[in-house]
Chains A and B, each alone.
Chain A
Amino acid sequence: DVQMTQSPSSLSASVGDRVTITCRASQSIARYLNWYQQKPGKAPKLLIYSASTLQSGVPSRFSGSGSGTAFTLTIGSLQPEDFATYYCQQSYNTPITFGQGTRLDIK
Chain B
Amino acid sequence: EVQLLESGGDLVQPGGSLRLSCAASGFTFSKYAMTWVRQAPGKGLEWVSTITGSGYTTFYADSVKSRFTISRDNSKNTLFLHMSNLRADDTAIYYCAKALDDYGYSSAWSFFDYWGQGAPVTVSS
Contact = CB atoms under 8 A, between A and B. Distances in A.
Interface of A: 32, 34, 36, 38, 43-46, 49-50, 55, 87, 89, 91, 94-101
Contacts of B59: 94-95
Most buried by A among B108, B115, B117: B115
Contact of A95 (B45, B61, B117): B61
Nearest 6 A/B pairs, CB to CB: A43-B115, A91-B110, A96-B47, A34-B111, A98-B45, A101-B44
A98 B46 contact: yes
B102 to A, nearest CB: 14
B113 A89 contact: no
A49 B111 contact: yes
Given A87-B44, A94-B59, A100-B44, A44 B100 contact: no
B45 A44 contact: yes
A43 B96 CA distance: 10
Interface in B106-125: 107-108, 110-113, 115-118
B95 interface: yes
B50 interface: yes
A46 B44 contact: no
A54 B108 CA distance: 14
Contact of A99 (B44, B61, B108): B44
A44 B62 CA distance: 23
Interface string B59-78: 10110000000000000000
A43 B110 CA distance: 17
Nearest to A100: B44
A38 B97 CA distance: 14
Given A55-B113, A98-B44, 9 more contacts: A43-B115, A44-B37, A44-B45, A49-B111, A87-B44, A91-B111, A98-B45, A100-B44, A101-B44
